[in-house]
Chain A
Amino acid sequence: MKYLDEYRDPDAAQKYIDLIHQVITREWTIMEICGGQTHAIVKYGIDHLLPETLNFVHGPGCPVCVTPQEMIDKAIAIAQEPNVIFTSFGDMMRVPGSHKDLLMVKSEGGDVRMVYSPLDAVKLAVKHPDKEVVFFAVGFETTAPANAMAVYQAHTSGIRNFSILSSHVLVPPAMEAILSAPGNQVQGFLAAGHVCTVMGYNEYIPLAPRYKVPIVVTGFEPLDILQGTYMTLKQLEEGRCEVENQYARAVRREGNIPSQSLIRKIFQITDRNWRGMGMIPASGLGLRPEYAAYDAEKKFAVPVVEPVSHSECIAGIILQGRKKPVDCPVFGTKCTPEHPLGAPMVSSEGACAAYYHYGNLEVRKMNKLTADGKI
């Protein structure tokens, strides 16, 4: 397939694998920000093709994973309201709240629907004028323009029965939180290519020297990851800390200006609670006061209850890159995709799901032997 096969070419991949082996002289820890990159690394077995001295840790770039539990509980409470059609991207459906997930609400008779675009939710609102249609707007800067467009369209067309439950988050503040945390191990970043498609990479330029980390804007195909990794390692080995753009076929320095204007028109920056990472100042997007009529949190007065979480799940530590899924005591035992204790085991971008589905063959062999009582 054009524009895909070129970036999965075995010969070109081998060239970058060789270059990485040549350039690396010591142990380095690199974080890939986006869950899509984590999945590519594990799915294509990239981690096994690279030197053992290179340690990939997996970042918080999984929107479903970092959505705080109280927000999921709120979504569930709204979805249970009698006159509501609750819409969401598929990933969110099975993320456990305190007591249930959205699919359980559906099985109990709630009108919960999966959509591919927030604009489809707006269409539903037009089609069902007697119902309140709510869209669960989670995501990073990547999904913000489409969600902003949904609110903008509803507003300009006078659609009053549409609202969004916004749990938008921003990448740069999370990177700063990780870098300034005590015990941080991350020495270089593969920045999330799709986020930068919208936002560009100007906002990363001050971060690199401030925290002395190379940041390489990187795509999602195997060759992108390999090239981005090589560029990061080269900077580390040469003692540089700059922002570079590996994903130049999609990302411009200034980003997508019309999308950014739309985001700024509809949303304003707010403090946001991240699951597993806590409150990070100025790290989220909320609706501007002039669009309050489209804010589901304001429209539905659902009681806020203290979320119940599983103490055994170490999702927070994994999302900060301080541990890997296989370090979790309940990984693959009490916590599986069928019975997830934490969001990273559910989402198609979650690190735990990546390890579980595609994961390390050697670990799986060991687990199986142990389960069969052979060890």
Chain B
Amino acid sequence: MKDQSINATFSCPIPITDYKNILLAHGSGGKLTNDLIRKMFLPQFHNKHLETLGDGAVLPSMDGRRLAVSTDSFVVNPVFFPGGNIGSLSVHGTVNDLAMCGAEPLYLSVGFIIEEGFPLDELWQIILSMEEAAIEAGVQIVTGDTKVVDKGKCDRIFINTTGIGAAWPDMTIGADQIQPGDHIIVSGDIARHGIAIMSVREGLEFESTIESDSASLHDLVNTMRYAGKIHALRDPTRGGVSSALNELADASGLGFVLHEEPIPIQEQVRAACEILGLDPLYVANEGKLIAFVSNEDSKYVLEAMREHPMGKDAEIIGEVVDDHPGMVVLKSRIGGTRVVDMLTGEQLPRIC
């Protein structure tokens, strides 16, 4: 499957060559829309649910498993960034949200809102990345929609994906399951996606390219659930690790203690954060999860994670305590203690 997707990315020529750019007519429901769907979407996302081209997809029963649904809209700027693009991101994001609910991702819907004049070859690259990400995640894109808006009415291209998953039967997870004494595990180095986006968005010229960590996490979760009792999962996307932890501290009514030393971060990312005056705890991730695991099981879960490619740099970074309810506290490298607050507004670079 992997070979097929790589082949698709590098050698699939764009099937529509009559127009170079998206026209309003591509979203009008007429011939051009039909062309777009039949030539660009269908062959790549092909599956029997989509191919009926109905108003929606009728999906098979889940054999009594509970359903999980999640939706997310993607408006990333720039659309293409080191390590991915809006297409792969829109698949990874929703797949991960389902996995964080303790569900196996199965189906996706995709809604495109495209600005008039958007280059068709870029749309093609986005579609190919979505196909590759969907194959990798084992999800089918079963229904979709395309709208084109006047130039200037949206920023190039926006994508919404909604995912349906089947809950893993043995998983009961959520903020209410977190217990004092639980260990907090992060699946790998933090802050990479935010810095990758920033490095291209702001025209910052770093000597080495920092690639986004955008990836699907459901398979890692699938590995973890056999290794020990997981109480809660969260993917620290916008707002970074600190916001994810603050939300869970607040919802669970417990206090979290983090240790600065073991928090994994790539050297280049850390350097970029130092230069820009950003706190990596507040910078977005797109291929990382935070797990709350009972302290008896954390060793086994950590071992299992480290054997999985998505979790090879996993670390225990903290624990849950009864003290300071609703608050996240960090023990600094030099032994001091500080509060880790939720992100306010956008994290702004410092002035000097």
Query: What residues make up the interface of A, taking CB atoms closer than 8 Å to B?
Result: 1, 4, 8-10, 13-14, 36, 42-46, 48-49, 63-64, 89-94, 114, 116, 120, 138-140, 142-143, 194, 222-223, 336-338, 347-349, 356-359, 361, 364-365, 368
Contact = CB atoms under 8 A, between A and B. Distances in A.
Nearest to B332: A44
B345 interface: yes
A8 B340 CA distance: 19
Contact of A10 (B202, B203, B335, B337): B335
Secondary structure of the A contact surface, majority rule: helix
B276 to A, nearest CB: 8
B56 interface: no
Contacts of B341: 356-358
Interface stretch (B27-35, B66-74, B119-127, B321-329): B321-329
Contacts of A368: 325-327
A8 B333 contact: yes
Given A90-B351, A91-B348, A365 B338 contact: no
B153 interface: no
B351 A364 contact: no
Contact of A348 (B204, B333, B337, B351): B351
A92 B270 CA distance: 24
Closest 5 CB pairs of A and B: A45-B336, A90-B348, A337-B344, A13-B334, A358-B338
Contact of B203 (A45, A120, A347, A365): A120
Nearest to B278: A348
A1 B267 contact: yes
Given A49-B335, A348-B277, 11 more contacts: A9-B333, A9-B334, A44-B333, A89-B350, A90-B350, A116-B202, A139-B352, A222-B334, A223-B334, A347-B351, A368-B325
A66 to B, nearest CB: 12
Nearest to A192: B352
Contacts of B53: none
A305 B125 CA distance: 53
A43 B344 CA distance: 16
Contact of B339 (A1, A64, A361): A361
Contacts of B42: none
A142 B329 CA distance: 33
Given A1-B271, A348-B277, A364-B327, A44 B338 contact: yes
B351 A349 contact: yes
Contacts of A9: 333-334
Give the interface size class of chain B.
20 to 34
Interface of B: 202-204, 267, 270-271, 274, 276-277, 324-327, 329, 332-341, 344-345, 348-352
Contacts of B352: 36, 63, 139-140, 142-143, 194
B337 A4 contact: no
A91 B329 CA distance: 25
A356 B329 CA distance: 13
B335 A359 contact: no
B125 to A, nearest CB: 27
B344 A338 contact: yes
5 contacts: A4-B274, A46-B336, A92-B351, A114-B348, A348-B348
Given A359-B339, A361-B324, A94 B345 contact: yes
Given A1-B267, A1-B274, A361-B324, A348 B350 contact: yes
Nearest to A64: B351
Interface centre among B349, B350, B351 (most CB of A within 10 A): B351
A337 to B, nearest CB: 4
Given A63-B352, A143-B351, A49 B334 contact: yes
Contacts of B348: 90-91, 93-94, 114, 348
A336 B342 CA distance: 12
Given A94-B345, A368-B327, A48 B336 contact: yes
Nearest to A348: B350
B333 A361 contact: no
Contacts of B276: 116
